[in-house]
Amino acid sequence: MLRIETEMFEKWCRKMEPQSPPLHLLLDTPDSSYKSKLCDPTDGFVGLTAEQKCELAEWELEETKDEIQRLKEDSEQTLQDLEADMEEADIWWADIQKAISDFDKNIISTISQKKGSIVAFEKLLRYLEEKNHQKDLMTEKLRLENNSLKSYKKKLQQQLRQKEKMGEALLEVRFKQLQIRNVQYQEKIDEKNKELLQLKLTSAKTVQVLNFYKVSEALSTSIFPFFSFQERLQNAMETSVCLMKDISKRKELLEKIEREAILVEEERAKAERLNKKLRRQLSDYRVPSVLRYVHEKMAVTNLEKSLKAWERKVAIAEMSLQSYRRAWNRIKMTSNQH
């Protein structure tokens, strides 16, 4: 137990003072002040008090909880990433399987049945042309999506700039409103605390009066058996019951106000965190330079020109392919006639 307590205390010391040496090295030195404080030849071994041990244990418990929470968050993030990778791999594998099955069904079966025939060759060419056409359509679709996303990005940037202009003033107004409400609730809590203190004093006085009546009744019954204070005692009991009910109601009202104050404090803390976050984002926000924008615009223009050039090349290649096909068909017709 002493070794466990020493390790915990040493961990706490390293946390508080990262540059300090370990505790056992301090205790091993002959002129150590720590050793002289912990071990006294006259008083014996002086250890930590129960309150200090409790504080160290609570600190260790909080550290362990925080570490478990961090590990849990990291594990959840890793699990989500792996699940996303698995889904992507499943989709990719399904596409590959589909492509393989289509190729086997449409091409391999025909080639295996008609080896060396022109029909199989033409079927293979048509299959490749369809695949290229599908890729072209997909490219066009992605290009359109990219353009739409670019326009949407510009729209969001404009909205962000507008919000940056208006957001700071709105956050300051909201924060001031929360501060005013916090002050109002704090005043209400102070008033209710004063009322509760007054009720406690009244209850104490009532108990004293009740005890006095009980003592008086006991004395009257022992000295004057025919004279009783039953009516006054009953009235005092009824008054005490009413006061206890009133005290319980006031306590419930005070608890309700305290809960509302806690909620207001949480809202204020949340608003402060949001304000700090937005201020940090505003401080970190940097507008790109004009030269960089010009370079990006020139790059986009060059890419568009290269895209048009490649489209013309593809059109010329398609025309050449059609002419080659017509020539091939003529050659086949002449060969069949011969």
What integer pLDDT is reported at residue 41 of this predicted model?
42
Round to whole Å and give the CA distance between 247 and 304: 81
> From the first residue on, what is the mean pLDDT of each consecutive set of 10 residues in the chain (338 residues)?
79 67 46 45 56 80 89 92 90 86 76 65 78 85 89 87 69 77 85 84 81 68 51 78 87 88 88 86 72 84 91 89 86 79
Q: Work out the number of other CB atoms within 10 angstroms of the CB of residue 236.
A: 19
Q: What are residue 45's DSSP bridge partners?
A: 39
Q: What are residue 44's DSSP bridge partners?
A: 40
Residue type, 233: L
What integer pLDDT is reported at residue 274 of this predicted model?
87
What integer pLDDT is reported at residue 25 of this predicted model?
44
What integer pLDDT is reported at residue 171 of this predicted model?
66
Residue whose structure tokens are 């003592």: 215
What DSSP designation does 18 have? T
Do you know the residue count of the chain? 338
What integer pLDDT is reported at residue 31 of this predicted model?
45
Round to whole Å and give the CA distance between 179 and 173: 10
Work out the widest C-alpha separation in the chain, in whole angstroms.
153
Smallest CA-to-CA distance from 9 within 61, 51, 56, 47 is with: 56
